[in-house]
Amino acid sequence: MKQTLSTFLGLLITGICFAQTVTKITGLKDAWGIDITYIGEVKNKVPNGLGVAIYSSSQDVLRYAGYFENGAYSGKGVMIFKTGYFLSGNWKNGKLNGKGTNLNSTGDLYIGDFVNGKKEGKGTLIYKNNNFLTGGFKNDLIDGRNIYLSNEGKIISDNLYKEDKKNGGGFQYEVSSKKLYEGTWSNDQWVSGGSTGLNSFLKSPQLFGEVTEKQILIGTLDPATKYLKDSGFYYDLKNGKRYFGIFNNGYLDKGLIVRDDSSRMIGNYNDIGAYGYGYYYKTGQYYDEGIYDKDLLSGNNNLSIDVNKKTIYYGQTSGGSFTGDAWFANNSNDLYKGHYVKGQLNGDGWKADSYGNFVKGTFDNGYVTKITQLTTADGVTINPVPKTFAEAITNATILYPGYYLPLTGKASTDNRDNDDFYFSYTDNSLMKFPGTVSGDLVNWDDAEYPLYVAHYGEDMDSVKAIAKYKDLAKQVATASIVLKKGQKPVKLVGSISMPSTGYVAAASYYNYPQEVKDYSNVSVALVFIKRSEGKFRVLLICGEKERIEKWVDNINYGDDLY
């Protein structure tokens, strides 16, 4: 991360500083003119560096995660869609240019060259039904010389194509009859036989074709060893694996492996497995790309896309494990960057969430344990260790629209969209109100909106508890709060309410003035709770007033929530 992230610039008001280099920007458009919201690194108020472009729910595409230059997708990145299909590779001027991968809506996988977002150049197209084709493409269509193999493996063709169809000279070999056809095709139809003037391994004198119960072989044989060499195809019928490419002594050296279970691999191979740069796709599950060693992803700049969870990991891997410096984008539009160990962020790192909040700090197995910088989408840098009561209330108010997630943030390659996280959930807060007797909490408690809970008294006698309750009421009423840059300080409006006879809990509510419209639904409440005979608890709670009222009612009617 750039050094400026640790430099607090701007106007200091009640412990708040207005500055940032990771932020949220709305009202942008992608290279196709579609509206996007950006969260990530910026330079000169424009997306530059690592970030996420979020699309509206009306679009088929969910997000682009990767690198930007002057507001455009540029460098390594992934565009992922609602159904899990994706575009991945090197981007320039907002579109794929160079090497890339496209899993389309019908389940067909293309790996190869792109120009301005379209398939153009050399590539391999593997269809969902396990047919595959490798060769030339132009303007998103099959064009030029291509080799095609049907999924049953009994027919192989080597033809010239134009606009997705066989047009021109070519060859077709049928292994069952061991017949080779050479001639001319037009719009996918055989027109006439005759010499094409083209060279093909299908015309080799050493061409061998065989169909047995165990295998299908098509290719050139080494006269001495009788094993496949150079170009060839081998279908292991027992294990449901197709091998196509360059063979050496009967083993595939470089090329394509397609399994009946719909996994696909393009790369280099030895007797241990894949090595060097390769591509692997398990249909409907995940896509991996990068440096392989001993059949496992292991190296720098490796990519893994979870098609089901719609998550993206890019960076270092080791022995097939997500270990090393990397970034990760989840399906909640959160972005993480730092050092990963077995899929969990550990050590120094940062997170930018979907609300535009930025957290930099120390992580332990995916949990933030220490915040060194916390910045909101409005450019407010919050001190995670507030020095004053007013500063703490300000922080809790500003972070409420983001559900306090920056204070309880997790960073994991696991998708966090599950009931255990978003409902019935209580976590320790990484911020603490001054003067509290224990760690602050963020409580979900089967509700959509959370509550921020600070403990100011635990098992106190009635005299001390009432004194603390009244003292807090005075502090809340007199706190001078600045919520936005350039805004005049405001004070909360409310009054103290003492517990009535027969009730276990009482609450005093303090709300923002009507002119503070962005936080009209946020209340700061003081809660006085009778725990047992002669034992009382005093809490400060920040959140939605109706939610707090329901919470207090539950206590009065027998639910021992706190």
Token code pair at residue 83: 């159904």
Report residue 39: phi and psi, to 5°: -135, 120
Enumerate the domain spans of the chain.
1-84+308-413, 129-261, 418-562
pLDDT higher than threshold 70 for residue 7: no
Q: Residue 98's pLDDT is what? A: 97
Q: Are 562 and 462 in contact (CB under 8 A)?
A: no
More confident residue, 85 or 505: 85
Q: Which amino acid is at 514?
A: Q
Where are the alpha helices (H) located in 296-388, listed in sequence order? none
pLDDT higher than threshold 60 for residue 223: yes
Instruction: Show Cβ contacts of residue 305 under 8 Å, excluding neighbours closer than 6 positions.
Output: 78, 80, 86, 88, 286, 287, 288, 311, 312, 313
CB atoms inside a 10 Å sphere around CB 475: 17
Q: Residue 420's pLDDT is what? A: 30
Q: Which of 482, 2, 398 is nearest to 22 (CA)?
A: 2
Q: Residue 447's pLDDT is what? A: 57
**pLDDT > 90: what percent of the chain?**
71
Per-residue pLDDT reduced to its tens digit, 31-69: 999 999 999 999 999 999 999 999 999 999 999 999 999
Q: Are 169 and 196 in contact (CB under 8 A)?
A: yes
Q: Are 386 and 398 in contact (CB under 8 A)?
A: no
More confident residue, 149 or 462: 149
Q: Which amino acid is at 231?
A: S
Q: Residue 19's pLDDT is what? A: 41
> What would the mean pLDDT of 131-160 be, rounded to a whole number?
97
User: Considering only 78-92, 174-188, 408-422, 493-507, which range has the smallest mean pLDDT?
Assistant: 408-422
User: Considering only 186-190, 361-365, 438-442, 488-492, which range has the smallest mean pLDDT?
Assistant: 438-442
> What would the mean pLDDT of 400-418 be, rounded to a whole number?
59
pLDDT higher than threshold 80 for residue 401: no
Q: Residue 360's pLDDT is what? A: 93
Distance CA 173, CA 331 (A): 46
Distance CA 347, CA 411 (A): 11
Read off the pLDDT band of 441 (50, 70, 90). confident
Half-sphere exposure for 138 (CA within 13 Å, toward CB)? 11
Q: Residue 559's pLDDT is what? A: 54
Distance CA 546, CA 548 (A): 5
Q: Which amino acid is at 539?
A: L
Q: Residue 502's pLDDT is what? A: 66
> What would the mean pLDDT of 8-19 be, rounded to a whole number?
33
Read off the pLDDT band of 416 (50, 70, 90). very low
**Cβ contacts of 138-147, under 8 Å, gap ≥ 24:** none
Q: Residue 301's pLDDT is what? A: 96
- Residues paired with 23 in a beta bridge: 40
Per-residue pLDDT reduced to its tens digit, 63-101: 999 999 999 999 999 999 999 999 999 999 999 999 999
Q: Which amino acid is at 140?
A: D
Distance CA 11, CA 485 (A): 8
User: Considering only 8-22, 170-184, 211-225, 341-355, which range has the smallest mean pLDDT?
Assistant: 8-22
pLDDT higher than threshold 70 for residue 159: yes
> What would the mean pLDDT of 318-322 be, rounded to a whole number?
93
Distance CA 199, CA 191 (A): 20
Tokens 């503070």 belong to 516
pLDDT higher than threshold 70 for residue 12: no
pLDDT higher than threshold 80 for residue 562: no
Read off the pLDDT band of 426 (50, 70, 90). low
Q: What angle do CA 38, 116, 27 make, to 5 degrees?
A: 20
Burial 27-64 (b: 16+ CB within 10 A, else e): eeebeeeeebbbbbbbeeeebbbbbbbbbeeeeebbbb
Q: What is the CA radius of gyration of the chain?
A: 31
Token code pair at residue 499: 């517990």
> What would the mean pLDDT of 413-423 be, rounded to a whole number?
34
pLDDT higher than threshold 80 for residue 424: no
Q: Residue 483's pLDDT is what? A: 87
CB atoms inside a 10 Å sphere around CB 308: 11
> What would the mean pLDDT of 123-127 be, rounded to a whole number?
97
pLDDT higher than threshold 70 for residue 125: yes
Instruction: Please give the mean pLDDT across all residues of the chain.
Output: 88
